[in-house]
Structure 1
């Protein structure tokens, strides 16, 4: 950064636990420095029992805003002064903006994902999406896809009730959404892929701790022309994405979602667009 931290430095940050693995401080501080904005982004490891006091402290210290990560994305909502309509539907907040002393919650995860697809030339409107997994990320992504006009969303999860919960949430709030649910097993995945335009992996399979695993057992079931998207960004090429490349499919990893959800939060705080290409290249270099 080309400036000293002063009493005019605007504070932002992220709260969650554990927090040391987060890429967010690097993303935001690189962007602030590149644009010569007098902002600072600080990670805070916050336990559940300290959440309320932490939020009050951030308001008292006049933080411009902060991100919220696991396990606080739902619990944070009771400590805020207002919540955006999309965050209400999703039932989770990942970004908070201090608007003249009022803390307003937003959810940028879903918009970050759909923006990352659009940047890769992947259409959403009138397309069929198969989502593997039914956690918080899947919920945000599925809701935003429905809001953006996806033709159909097929949710596959090992615990069927979690998929049903997301489907019910979407159909309750988006009247024209078409949602199907089924268990995540090979025969159901094969059937779903027959009509899919895009496959989305939101499960942990493929992360470094499970880097030799994939939701796909046999890559031969991946149809030609399918777009395969993995929300995992580390490693950049999961086993699933390698399988898809072997089948000559377009692939999209999770780095774009990570950066674009951050970019939306960045602009909410600063009213300045994030230099996305610069940040992405800087992250890849590191």
Structure 2
């Protein structure tokens, strides 16, 4: 199925001109460069809204005439709450990474779901056991995507209670962080959404695993010997495709986006 044919990508019927990435510490994000590569001849712009406060970021977004924005950490839950409407996937996950503005009314979406699902689908990874490390917004999207692919999911996190909450939300398993090494022995996939290395990974055996890491700026597991390491850049590009289609209604230049991701 083509992205443009997906019913859950509600292409807006209004033309957008001004977009942004909203978050903290986003100055080094690849998103503006990806957007420029995706639409090289467009007069549409993509900037950064960096703020220490979600409400202030929202005020900037609305008062400066932005029509859409990607949302990154730590504001995915806040902008879910700010939104007037939610698409089915963001509703299931409980967080958003994209909002559209229609006359001051915000609709939330979650394209991180595709950032996980599409690369795994392309590799035929649709069955087996997966461990998700982390319990934030990216982890939530990953768990739903893995469940929809038919995988058996176990969540681990530094804060056990957060792992429990996430697991119960999606009716999957959870284990103490100390069990991660044993869990990986019997798993085919590790989705790693934590910015820092976890205890227990130094002694873990990755040789029979595919590793998919969300963090593309400072990866922790890219040097591990494994079946395949999938970079966070692929996650970024894979979620950006439906994001940019929602913004513009036009299919982006995928090859140009991939070139930016590889070379940055």
- TM-score, reference length from structure 2: 0.84
CA distance in 1 between counterparts of 2:260 and 2:159 reads 38
SS state at 2:45 partner: strand
1:90 to 83, 89, 93: 93
Q: What secondary structure is seen at the aligned counterpart in 2 of 1:19?
A: coil
Look at both structures and tell me which one has the larger radius of gyration over its CA atoms.
Answer: 1
User: How far apart in 1 are the matches of 2:132 and 2:232?
Assistant: 14
Cα-to-partner distance string for 1:108-127 (whole Å, 9 max, x where unaligned): 112211112233x1412x32
Match of 1:192 in 2: 183
- Residue pair 2:49, 2:60 contacting (<8 A) in 1 also: no
8 Å contact kept, 1:116–1:256: yes
Contact kept in structure 2, 1:92 and 1:107, CA below 8 Å: yes
Alpha carbons 2:39, 2:253 under 8 Å: kept: no
* Aligned residue among 211, 236, 249 for 1:228: 211
C-alpha distance in structure 2 between counterparts of 1:274 and 1:38, whole Å? 14
How well do the aligned residues superpose, as a CA RMSD in angstroms?
Answer: 2.3
Q: Tell me if the contact between 1:65 and 1:95 (Cα under 8 Å) persists in the aligned partners.
A: yes
Q: Unaligned 5+ residue runs, structure 1?
A: 1-7, 172-178, 207-212
Q: Return 5+ residue gaps in structure 2 as ranges.
A: 1-14
Ranges of 4+ aligned residues in structure 1 off by more than 4 Å: none
The one of the two structures with greater contact order (alpha-carbon pairs below 8 A, sep at least 6) is: 2
C-alpha distance in structure 1 between counterparts of 2:196 and 2:82, whole Å: 33
- Is the counterpart of residue 201 in structure 1 residue 206 in structure 2? no
Separation of aligned partners in 1, 2:59 and 2:111: 24
Q: Is the 8 A contact 2:181 2:201 kept in 1?
A: no
Q: Does structure 1 conserve the Cα–Cα contact (< 8 Å) formed by 2:142 and 2:191?
A: no
Report how many aligned residue pairs link the two structures.
249
TM-score, structure 1 normalization: 0.78
Preserved CA contact (<8 Å) 2:25 2:50: yes
